[in-house]
Amino acid sequence: MAASPLVSWAAPESSAPAASIPRLDLRRLDAGPAEREAFLAELRDAARDVGFFHLVGHGIPAAEITQVQALARRFFALPLPEKQAVAMVRSPHFRGYTAAGREITRGAPDWREQFDVGAEREVLPQTAASPPWSRLQGPNQWPVGLPDLRVGLLRWQAAVTQLGIRLLRAFALALGQPEDVFAPIYQGAPNQHIKIIRYPGREATQGEQGVGAHKDSGFLTLLVQDGQSGLEVEGPNGWIAAEPVEGSFVVNIGELLELASNGYLRATIHRVVTPPAGRDRLSVAFFLGARHDATVPLLALPPDLASEARGPASDPDNPLFHEVGRNYLKGRLRSHPDVAARFYGDLAETAPA
């Protein structure tokens, strides 16, 4: 299936979304040289012009998507004390449950409850010389009352990691690089972060901010949505709705690809608007990043692409660092001030921007 063309930007007359995001079929990557090159060109354009796209033909069965969504629903249906028993504030690795209003974006509370999971790895030994990001590695927390959650989410993590790496290799080709150009900074211990999220309806919140406007910090984000809209992408003429498409992933690039491409690709600001009263919204997000000990390379782009590179975004409230662990920790500290205060009080970076 050919990718949908980008829609012309509409002049903003209200706060309504301005356009739509494209749809790409990953099966085209293996459909012969001509189709492959066309797909790579459309992948590059989608990531540069809009920054988001729907991915279909990705190979993950619809039944597995349905299963992980049902598992997320079962977690959020647990009694509050069982969820609070695995609260993120108990974890120096930023793993576990966060109640609505407890995560902060741009200084304001996000009205979503969520559960964060990373790769299951041993805690790194700490010395006086250990970098602060080394505290991020460690085990997850799991609710006693839902043992299926551990099995299901780690299985999902493995499947979506494979998909993310396949897509990352396609991005390398689209930028005129060897397809394994990013492998040295993710092989062995990529940053694998799952976030299952429930946005309560507006009657249960204090405003429309499901999650405030922000960028993602890793290579790629792959998101599964339910049927309730709410995700919006910042375009040049207003907010663009990433409407749910059954069986697809919504994909966007993060700050690592922006840095590596010298701003040819730009991580796009996005937000989630609170659902209407009487509805909630469920999403399952997977963030693929590099190893915490890695440094993001500056790619030597082909001349035609290099001439259009804009440099990484300059935002004093969100400085970008080529040191992966430092860049990732920055976002964690700002988003979860309670965890920062409990486990990272020795760092100046714990002060919110």
Q: Read off the pLDDT of residues 296-341 as tens digits, 9 standing for 90 and up.
A: 999 999 999 999 998 887 566 667 778 999 989 988 998 999 999 9
What pLDDT is stored for residue 310 in this prediction?
Answer: 85
Question: What angle is formed at CA 237 by the lines to CA 270 and CA 15, rounded to 5 degrees?
Answer: 70
- Secondary structure letter of residue 312 according to DSSP: S
Q: Give the C-alpha separation, 110 to 335, whole Å.
A: 9
The pTM of this model reads: 0.91
Number of structural domains (the chain) is 1
Residue 162 located in a structural domain: yes
- Report the pLDDT value the prediction gives residue 266, as an integer from 0 to 100: 85
Q: 110 in a domain, yes or no? A: yes
What is the Cα Rg of the chain in Å? Answer: 19
Q: Residue 40 falls within a domain, yes or no? A: yes
pLDDT digits (tens, 9 = 90+) for 66-82: 999 999 999 999 999 99
Does residue 86 belong to any structural domain of this protein?
yes
Which pLDDT score, from 0 to 100, does residue 12 have? 31
In a domain, 15, yes or no: no
For residue range 219-260, list pLDDT tens digits in order: 999 999 999 999 999 988 889 999 999 999 999 999 899 999
CB atoms within 10 A of CB 245: 14
pLDDT value of residue 20: 80
Cβ proximity of 47 and 171 under 8 Å: yes
Question: Does residue 161 form part of some domain?
Answer: yes
Beta strands at 52-56 and 96-98: parallel, antiparallel or unpaired: unpaired
Q: Let me know: does 240 contact 21? Beta carbons within 8 Å.
A: yes
**Residue 325 in domain:** yes
Contact 83, 125 (CB under 8 A): no
Residue 279 lies in a domain: yes
Provide the CATH number for the domain around residue 106.
2.60.120.330
pLDDT of residue 9: 25
Q: Residue 295 is part of which domain span?
A: 23-122+131-350
